Amino acid sequence: MDTLLLARLQFATTTSIHFLFVVVTLGLVTLLVGMQTAGFLTGDPKWERLTRFWGQLYVINYVLGIASGIVMEFQFGLNWSGLSRYVGNVFGAPLAIETLLAFFLESTFLGMWIFGWHRLRRGVHLALLWGVAITAYASAFWIMVANSWLQNPVGYELRDGVAHLTDFGALLTNPTLGMAFGHVLAASLLTGGMLMAAVSAWHLIRRTPDFALFRSSLRIGLVVAALAVSAVQGFGFAQFGPVGQVQPTKFGGGPGRDALVAEWTTRFGPGDWTPPVLSNVGLGFMILIGFTLGAVWLLLPLLWRDAVIRLRFPLWLILFALPLPFVAVILGWIAREVGRQPWAAYGLLPTSRAVSDVDAGLMLASLVGFGLLLGTLAVTNWVLLARHAARGAHDPALGRPPAPESDDHPRQPVLA
C-alpha cells in the first residue's frame, strides 16, 4: 500500500463530503436572509413560516457540517505535517483568520438567532441572521484565500527552507482567488435554489395543505437557481485565462507547460509533473452539468399562471435534477484540486514531500475510520433533512412561540 495514495484518498474523501455541507449552508443562509427581510418589511406572516421551515433545515445541515469540518481538521494534522512545516507560516494565516474572526462569530450569531425567536426585537433578530450570512461568506472567502495560495504561491520568501509571508496583500489579489470565490458562491446559491425548488416540488406533487406556501418557495428557488446558474457559468469560464497563466499544466499542453516541466525536472528530479487525466474528466462533466442546469431558465415562463404546477411533469424534472448541483460541485473540486497535482503548493512543494511519515497500515485505518464517520454524518444529515422537509411547514420546532405559562397553584381566597 502506498502511504501517499492513501493520504490523498483520505483528503479527497473528507474535503468532498465536507464541501457538500458547505454549499448547502451558504446557499440556504442567503435565501433565509431574503425571506426574513421580506417578512420584516412587509409584515406578511407567510415569510416567517417560510423562514422557520427552511431555517430548521439550515440548522440541521450546519450542525452536522461542523462535525464534518472537525474530522477534516484532524486529517490535516495527521497526514500533512510536511505541508504544515514548509508553508504553515503562510497557509495558516488565512485559516487562522477564518477560524477566529469568521467561524466563531458565525456560530455566535447563529446561536443567538436560533434562541432569539420571540425574545428579541424583530430588527435585532433579523440583524443576527444578516450577521450569520456575512460571516459565512467571510469564512468561505478566507478558506478560498488559503486554497488559492496553494494553487499559486505568492507573497512569500524562503528562509532556511521554510516559506514566510512577506506580502499579505498579495494573498488577496491572487489571480486564482477572485473568480474562483465567485464561482463557489454562485454554485452554493444554485445548490440552495435547487434544494428549495425540489422540496417545494415534492410538496406540490403531494398537494399538501401548505400549497400556497410551497408555491412561493418554488418560485423563489427557481428564480435563484436560474440567476445562479448563469453566474456559475460566467465565473467558471472566466477562470480559464488567469488560472491557465499561473498553472500551465492544468488545462492541457503548450510551450509554457513544456518549459515549466523541464524546469521542475531540473529542480526536483525526473517524474510525472502533469496532472492526472481525472482532472480534465471532472472538468468536462462539470461543464456538461452546468449547461444542463441552464435549462432552469426554460421553467421560468411556466411560473405564469402556475403552469409549472398544473403540468406536473416539470415538478418531477426539478425533483430528479436535485443531485446534479451536488455532483457538479464535487467535479469542480476534482478539477481544481487534482489539476494542481503532483503539487501540494504549486511549483513549490511536491505532494510527496508534504505527506506525514506515517505507516501505511495506520493511514489505511484512519482512511476507513474517517470515511465511515463522514459517511455516517452525511447519511444522517440527509435523512434528517428529508424527514423534517417531509413534515411540511405547518409548525416547525424552530421559532415556535413559547407556550403560555400555566398557573398550577390555586388562588387563595381574598378575605374581606
- pLDDT tens digits, one per residue of 180-207: 999 999 999 999 999 999 999 999 998 8
d(CA 192, CA 136): 14
Q: If residue 349 lies in a helix (H) or strand (E), which one and from where to where?
A: strand 349-350
For helices 3-42 and 45-79, give the axis angle rounded to 10 degrees: 160
Q: Is the pLDDT of residue 396 over 90?
A: no
Place of cell 488577496: 172
Mean pLDDT computed over 76-90: 86
- More confident position, 315 or 254: 315
Q: Is the pLDDT of residue 416 over 50?
A: no
Residue 303: its pLDDT value, please? 93
- More confident position, 272 or 32: 32
Mean pLDDT computed over 366-384: 92
Residue 302: its pLDDT value, please? 94
- pLDDT tens digits, one per residue of 341-354: 899 999 899 998 99
Contact 55, 32 (CB under 8 A): yes
Q: Is the pLDDT of residue 147 over 80?
A: yes
- pLDDT tens digits, one per residue of 99-129: 877 778 888 999 999 999 989 999 999 999 9
Assign 412 a pLDDT band (cuts: 50, 70, 90). Answer: low
d(CA 376, CA 142): 28
Q: Is the pLDDT of residue 57 over 50?
A: yes
Helices (H) and strands (E) in the chain, counts: 16, 4
Residue 406: its pLDDT value, please? 54
Helices (H), 43-103: 45-79, 81-97
- pLDDT tens digits, one per residue of 203-236: 999 888 889 999 999 999 999 999 999 999 999 9
Q: Is the pLDDT of residue 411 over 70?
A: no
Helices (H), 98-167: 104-115, 122-151
Taking alpha carbons only, the member of 13, 39, 47 closest to residue 330 is 13
Residue 68: its pLDDT value, please? 87
